[in-house]
Amino acid sequence: TALAASHLAAGLALAVLSFLLVGMGAGAAGTSLLVLLATGVEAGRRGAAATIVWVMMIAGFAVTAPLAGHFLDPFSGARLVAVSGTVSLVAFAVAVLAVTGIEPRRPEAAGRAETKPPFRAVLAQVLAEPAARRFTLFIFVSMLAYSAQELILEPYAGLVFAMTPGATTKLAGLQHGGVLAGMLFVAGFTVFIGGPVLGSLKLWTAVGCGLSALALGTIAAGGPIGPDFPLRAAVAGLGFGNGVYAVAAIGSMMALAGRGGEAERGTRMGVWGAAQGVAFGAGGFLGTLAVDLARLVASEPVYAYAAVFAAEGVLFLVALLISLRVEHVTVGRRHNPLTETASFQLNSGFEAR
C-alpha cells in the first residue's frame, strides 16, 4: 500500500503477492492447528477445544485492531509499514512461542493399522442424510453472508463516512468485540437458564442470523443519511449478531457431528469445514467484486455499498430460513457443547509450554 503511492504497478503487484501469501499461510497454519487439536485432545473435549480456539481468535481481533488503529493516526505510508510490520513480528513471535514443544513425539507405529471403511463410502453415507445436507447448505449460505462484509466494511467507512485508516481499523475491532460479546451472551444464557426454549441452539442460530440481517440492513440504509448516522453502534450490533450466530452454529455442529460412528463424525466435520472454508474465501472475493460492479452503475459509491450490504442481509435471511429446518439441538447445564470448556484439559503430550 505504501509503495503504491509512488509506484502504482509495483505496489499492486506486491499487494497481490502479499495477499496470496497471507491466505496460504493462514490456511496452512489453521489446518495444522486443527490437526494438533484432533490428535492431542481427547475426543470428548474436542468441541470445547474448538470453541476455545474460536473465542481466542475473536479476542485477538478485538484487541489488536483498536491498538493498531490507535498507532496508525496520523496516517502515513511509513507509519503504516511500521505498525503492520510490528503487528506481524509480534504475532509471529507469539505463535512460535505458543507451539514450541507442543507437538508430542510419536513413537513408531507398531502393529497393523486399524481397518477403516473407504472415504468415498463414508462420504456418500453422510451426504445421504437429509439433516447433514441441510446443515451443509446452512453453513455455506451463512458463512457466505458472514464473510462478504469482511473486506468492504472499512472501505465503506472511509469513503462514505470520511473515516481515517486508523478509525476504520478501530471500527473492525469494535465489530469483533461485538462478536465476542454475542458469543458470551449465548453461552451465559445456555449455562444459567438453558431449557427447551432458551437452551435451543436452533433458536439462537436463527436469532443470530436475524440480528445480523437487521444490522446489515441498518448499515445499508445509514449511508445516505450521512455523518449523523451512528455507524459504530450499527457495526457493534452487526458483531453481536454475528457472535450469537457463530457460537450457536458451532455448538450445533459439534452436537450434530457427534451422532453416528467415528468415521461419520470425522467426515461430517470435514464436509462442514470445507463448506465453511469455501464460503469464507468466496464471500470476501464476491463482496468486493459486487461493490466494484455496483459502482459501475451507481451514481454514488454510497449506493453501491448499500446495495451490497442489503444483499448480504438477504443472504442472512435465507440462512435463517434454512436454519429453521436444521435438526433441533437443545443444550442444558450439564451437557452443553458451548460450555464444556469448564472441564477442558489438554493431554499431557499436548500441554502448552
Asked if residue 6 is part of any domain, the answer here is: yes
Provide the pLDDT for residue 353: 34
Q: Which three cell numbers stand for residue 234?
A: 450499527
Contact (Cβ atoms closer than 8 angstroms) between residue 131 and residue 327: yes
Provide the pLDDT for residue 342: 36
SS3 sequence of the chain: CCHHHCCHHHHHHHHHHHHHHHHHHHHHHHHHHHHHHHHHCCHHHHHHHHHHHHHHHHHHHHHHHHHHHHHHCCCCHHHHHHHHHHHHHHHHHHHHHHHCCCCCCCCCCCCCCCCCCCHHHHHHHHHCCHHHHHHHHHHHHHHHHHHHCCCCHHHHHHHHHCCCHHHHHHHHHHHHHHHHHHHHHHHHHHHHCCHHHHCEHHHHHHHHHHHHHHHHHHHHHHCCCCCCCCHHHHHHHHHHHHHHHHHHHHHHHHHHHCCCCHHHHHHHHHHHHHHHHHHHHHHHHHHHHHHHHHHHHCCCHHHHHHHHHHHHHHHHHHHHHHHCCCCCCECCCCCCCCCHHHHCCCCHHHCCC
Specify whether 36 is located in the same domain as 152. no
- Looking at residue 69, which CATH number applies to its domain? 1.20.1250.20
pTM score, two decimals? 0.78
Question: Which amino acid is residue 249, in one-letter code?
Answer: A
Q: In terms of residue numbers, what domain contains 32? A: 1-40
Per-residue pLDDT reduced to its tens digit, 207-245: 999 999 999 999 999 988 988 899 999 999 999 999 999
Specify whether 184 is located in the same domain as 199. yes
Specify whether 220 is located in the same domain as 259. yes
Specify whether 219 is located in the same domain as 246. yes
Provide the pLDDT for residue 307: 95
Provide the pLDDT for residue 50: 67
Q: Which three cell numbers stand for residue 170?
A: 478501530
Provide the pLDDT for residue 188: 81
Provide the pLDDT for residue 212: 97
Provide the pLDDT for residue 327: 74
Tell me how far apart the terminal alpha carbons of the chain are, to the nearest angstrom: 37
Specify whether 4 is located in the same domain as 126. no
- Residue spans of the chain under pLDDT 50: 108-112, 339-353
Asked if residue 347 is part of any domain, the answer here is: no
Specify whether 120 is located in the same domain as 247. yes
Angle 262-297/119-127 helices, nearest 10 degrees?
A: 70
